[in-house]
Amino acid sequence: MSESGYDLVILGSGSAAFAAAIRARSYGARVALVEAHTLGGTCVNVGCVPSKVLLEAAQRRHDCPPTAQTMQEAVGRKDELVAHLRRVKYEDLLARYDLDLVRGEASFEDAWTVRAGSRLLRAGAYIIATGASPNPPPIPGLREAGFITSTEALDLRAAPSRLAVIGGNAIGLELGQYFARMGSTVAIFEALSRIAPFEEPDSSRALHDALTAEGLAIFTGARITSVRTSAERRVLILFMDAAGAEREWEADAILVATGRRPNTDRLNLKGAGVRTTPGGAVATDAYLRTDSGHIFAAGDVTGAPQFVYVAAYQGGLAADNALGKLPIPQNLDAVPRVIFTQPRLAAVGETEEQARGRGAAVETAVLDLGESVPRAIVNRRGGILKLVVSRGTRTILGAHMVGEHADEVIVAATYAVRFKLTAAHLIETFHPYLTMGESLRLCAQALDVDPAALSCCAA
Ligand SMILES: Cc1cc2nc3c(=O)[nH]c(=O)nc-3n(C[C@H](O)[C@H](O)[C@H](O)COP(=O)(O)OP(=O)(O)OC[C@H]3O[C@@H](n4cnc5c(N)ncnc54)[C@H](O)[C@@H]3O)c2cc1C
């Protein structure tokens, strides 16, 4: 017997799902969420929150060793905070918004029915918000040797003595630095020619230099050919380096951080008339609607940039479009991105290559923060900021920064990209002296003037 009476059934209970559910309640809709595992999904349980608690502990250990927490203490604090935030940000909201939570794995029986464990649910509309999971590459010997993903890495209570990290993007770099600061000897293996490979080359270079200066080994252009296990239960990473030479690196543990694949395999999407992309994401139109007009999707499962604020935005929008009157297209024009290493890498908008690739005429300026930004000079921190602007109007197309507080500075740059501000707007705006935020104005000035020629307050 199927249970009807729901206006909306949401598959998943992560950030996209909760944003959708809360928005749907504002329309007075009756809503159920179906969750197969832990309430709250990736961000609060095994993603943003726990990783940032541990990175903070590692930073303290790096900056101020005598007051450092042990890994055991840091993981304990992380578990407490995760449990607290899961309660106040997810569990408590179920009652507050009068949401039904159905426990069990969801899959479509047909386009109008979802099975959730032993229950069959029917609703006027559905939102698929099942997120993504680690996606280990098919390297010969990797499975036999054993590996961890970010999920297990966040629970380790002792640092492996030598850790091989496969994948040099956000998660691999953040956790690589975390373990290095907790005492591991760390090597990062990145198949492409640079770490943070989708960001500005200047940003990749600055972060590469900072991490290697701290003792991490980084192999870029590295093709891992196989993994072998030695008699002492160590693992041997066999790889071809960028010059084509065969090399090996011995490790005690392997952390795989090669991206996350949308969770769509077990949903019987075909049976519901919902198409997936070659990468396994739910295919949607600009309104987050799937091929079945009453089924929408939001968050990591859509193949959108994997950030919690994108997931939450899409969740709200999917609910608007499923239940509201006017369909609204999604706008992902100015999505900021941060890699929470120290120094941070932060960016928004287009890289120079992306802008030129679509035929735009651009100008760029690159600021050496350690030489030109008073706050960076005082704090003895280096880094870079690059601005990409359109030639002529000088509209800000992209901002790319590696440096202290880059994660905060990028918020101002996001306003600039989102609302099409120009270099002149940045130059005409007061920026408090001495802040890292000043780097935006100084970099805009650097389009015309050598920053070395400016006086103290960049006059
Ligand atoms: C280590 C790490 C660090 C990160 N750090 C950041 C950060 O600092 N900032 C940031 O913005 N983003 C970060 N992210 C990314 C962010 O966590 C995700 O983009 C976001 O949580 C995705 O939310 P979602 O709702 O789409 O999916 P999820 O939160 O993954 O929710 C999906 C839910 O669906 C459930 N589910 C799956 N299949 C089924 C099924 N068949 N039936 C029922 N339930 C099902 C899952 O159990 C899960 O609870 C990080 C991710 C990781 C892994």
List Cα–Cα distances, 109 to 271, 274, 284, 409, in angstroms.
7, 12, 20, 48
Question: Is-cis flag, bond preceding 434, omega within 30?
Answer: yes
**What single string gives the DSSP state of each residue in 396-429?**
EEEEEEEETTHHHHHHHHHHHHHTT-BHHHHHHS
Q: Do 231 and 281 reside in the same domain of the chain?
A: no
Q: Do 21 and 105 reside in the same domain of the chain?
A: yes
CA of 109 to the centre of ligand 1 (A): 24
Q: Is residue 458 part of a domain?
A: no
Q: Which atom of ligand 1 is nearest to the CA of 314?
A: 26
How does pLDDT run across 164-201, given as a tens digit for each residue?
A: 999 999 999 999 999 999 999 999 999 999 999 999 99
Q: Do 160 and 196 reside in the same domain of the chain?
A: yes
Q: Is residue 156 part of a domain?
A: yes
The CATH number of the domain where 376 resides is what?
3.30.390.30
Q: pLDDT band for 2, please (50, 70, 90 cuts).
A: low
Q: Do 195 and 52 reside in the same domain of the chain?
A: no
Picking from 232, 256, 280, the residue at the C-terminal end of a domain is: 256
Q: What is the mean pLDDT of residues 31-42?
A: 97
Q: Is the CB of 314 under 6 A from ligand 1?
A: no
Q: Do 162 and 271 reside in the same domain of the chain?
A: no
Q: Residue-wise over 36-45: b if at least 16 C-beta within 10 A, else e?
A: beebbbbbbb
**Which class for 304: exposed (0-12), middle (13-18), buried (19 or more C-beta within 10 A)?**
buried
Domain that holds residue 233: 142-256
Looking at the structure of the chain, the number of domains it has is 3
Q: Residue-wise over 203-237: b if at least 16 C-beta within 10 A, else e?
A: bbebbbebbeeeebbbbbbbebeebeeeeeeebbb
Q: What is the mean pLDDT of residues 210-218?
A: 98
Q: Do 9 and 122 reside in the same domain of the chain?
A: yes
Q: Is residue 329 part of a domain?
A: no
List Cα–Cα distances, 1 to 99, 313, 446, in angstroms.
22, 35, 69
The CATH number of the domain where 309 resides is what?
3.50.50.60
Q: pLDDT band for 450, please (50, 70, 90 cuts).
A: confident
Q: Is residue 332 part of a domain?
A: no
Q: Is residue 459 part of a domain?
A: no
Q: Do 242 and 268 reside in the same domain of the chain?
A: no
Q: Do 128 and 268 reside in the same domain of the chain?
A: yes
Q: Do 230 and 184 reside in the same domain of the chain?
A: yes
CA of 5 to the centre of ligand 1 (A): 28
Q: Residue-wise over 74-88: b if at least 16 C-beta within 10 A, else e?
A: bbeebeeebeebbee
Q: Do 149 and 244 reside in the same domain of the chain?
A: yes
User: Considering the chain, what percentage of its residues have pLDDT values greater than 90?
Assistant: 92
Q: Is the CB of 105 under 6 A from ligand 1?
A: yes
Q: What is the pTM of this model?
A: 0.96
Q: Do 372 and 392 reside in the same domain of the chain?
A: yes
Picking from 224, 256, 288, the residue at the C-terminal end of a domain is: 256
Q: Do 265 and 248 reside in the same domain of the chain?
A: no
318 has pLDDT over 70: yes
CA of 14 to the centre of ligand 1 (A): 6
Question: Rounded distance, CA 425 to CA 374, Å?
Answer: 21
Nearest residue to 296 via CA among 23, 1, 4: 23
How does pLDDT run across 112-167, given as a tens digit for each residue?
A: 999 998 999 999 999 999 999 999 999 999 999 999 999 999 999 999 999 999 99
List Cα–Cα distances, 235 to 7, 157, 220, 286, in angstroms.
52, 20, 20, 46
CA of 325 to the centre of ligand 1 (A): 29
Residue 451 φ then ψ, to 5°? -55, -25
Q: Is residue 402 part of a domain?
A: yes
Q: Is the CB of 56 under 6 A from ligand 1?
A: no
- Structural contact between residues 238 and 226, judged by C-beta atoms closer than 8 angstroms: yes
Q: Is the CB of 309 under 6 A from ligand 1?
A: yes
Q: How many CB atoms lie within 10 A of CB 112?
A: 17
Q: pLDDT band for 325, please (50, 70, 90 cuts).
A: confident
Question: Is-cis flag, bond preceding 343, omega within 30?
Answer: yes
Picking from 199, 228, 256, the residue at the C-terminal end of a domain is: 256
Q: pLDDT band for 395, please (50, 70, 90 cuts).
A: very high
**What single string gives the DSSP state of each residue in 320-363?**
HHHHSSS------TT--EEE-SSSEEEEEE--HHHHHHTT--EE
Q: Is residue 331 part of a domain?
A: no
What letter does residue 276 receive in the DSSP assignment? B
Q: Is the CB of 320 under 6 A from ligand 1?
A: no
Strand partners, 125: 8
331 has pLDDT over 60: yes
CA of 16 to the centre of ligand 1 (A): 8
Q: Is residue 146 part of a domain?
A: yes
CA of 341 to the centre of ligand 1 (A): 20
Residue of the CA atom closest to atom 21 of ligand 1: 43
Q: Which atom of ligand 1 is nearest to the CA of 133?
A: 30
Q: What is the mean pLDDT of residues 46-72?
A: 90
